Amino acid sequence: RKEVEQDPGPFNVPEGATVAFNCTYSNSASQSFFWYRQDCRKEPKLLMSVYSSGNEDGRFTAQLNRASQYISLLIRDSKLSDSATYLCVVNWGTGRRALTFGSGTRLQVQP
Amino acid sequence: DVKVTQSSRYLVKRTGEKVFLECVQDMDHENMFWYRQDPGLGLRLIYFSYDVKMKEKGDIPEGYSVSREKKERFSLILESASTNQTSMYLCASSLTTEAFFGQGTRLTVV
């Protein structure tokens, strides 16, 4: 079983749509959670951290469910520029400083 | 802005060659990482370093070694390149948990 699992997609949605991605993680000791965005042929960049209480950044909302070990990303009013791969990322915390990445979910927003 | 620079965008090497991938960061970050990215497998951690001369194996260290002689520089070494090491290699650095990536090196081993 992969440590961080995501649906690879692609998710093809029209502009203005709302789209949600889920991600599950296997290590219950995981402490920090993030969504990264990776554009085609570019490096990953931090989109947002995910907090236990849920958090919002403009059109983006992230949620964490520790009991079920999943995190989610909701994008409202999709723009063409949102087309990218979204990577679910987990940090195990103490003893391991590196991030563990999911394989990503590809989003294609169509005009 | 944090800058993480990898020495090459594209490399083509022959099987059996010793290959050096270089990475430099300019933000005095303690932590540096090497990942490889393959379709369907995502980013997998090869090695990371949390201080000069300190290193730890990641999930797929076989066939690789690393060197960190200075804080700003972290090198990945393929001792004897093989075709299954053809991949995108990404270097990253971090101070706490947010990682900043270089632009990647696409290595092809023929």
Q: Residue A98 and residue B103: Cβ atoms within 8 Å?
A: no
Nearest CA to B102 among B42, B37, B55, B57? B37
Whether A96 shows a pLDDT value over 60: the answer reads no
Q: Which residue has the tokens 């042929």?
A: A41
CA–CA min distance B107, chain A (Å) = 14
What is the pLDDT at residue B75?
97
Cα radius of gyration rounded to whole Å, chain B: 13
Q: How many CA atoms lie within 13 A of A56 on its CB side?
A: 3
Q: How confident is the model at residue B96 (pLDDT cuts 50, 70, 90)?
A: confident
CA–CA min distance A51, chain B (Å) = 14
What is the pLDDT at residue A52?
87
At B9, list the tokens. Answer: 């965008």
At A71, list the tokens. Answer: 């995190």
Q: How confident is the model at residue A68 (pLDDT cuts 50, 70, 90)?
A: very high
Q: Which residues of A84-94 are buried (b: 16+ CB within 10 A; e: fewer)?
A: bbbbbbbbbee
Whether B25 shows a pLDDT value over 80: the answer reads yes
Nearest CA to A86 among A52, A50, A53, A55? A50
Give the count of Cβ contacts less than 8 A between chain A and B.
Answer: 44
Beta bridge partners of B20: B77
Q: How confident is the model at residue B44 (pLDDT cuts 50, 70, 90)?
A: very high
Task: Among A34, A43, A98, select the one facing B48 at the smallest CB separation.
Answer: A98
What is the pLDDT at residue A106?
95
Q: Which residue of A has its CA nearest to B43?
A: A101
Contact by Cβ (8 Å): A32, A49: yes
CA–CA min distance A68, chain B (Å) = 23
What is the pLDDT at residue A10?
92
What is the pLDDT at residue B36?
96
At A89, list the tokens. Answer: 């990322």
Task: Among B44, B50, B90, select the one facing A97 at the smallest CB separation.
Answer: B50
Q: Which residue has the tokens 């079983």?
A: A1
Nearest CA to B88 among B62, B107, B74? B107
The share of chain B scoring above pLDDT 70, in percent, equals 98
Whether A71 shows a pLDDT value over 90: the answer reads yes
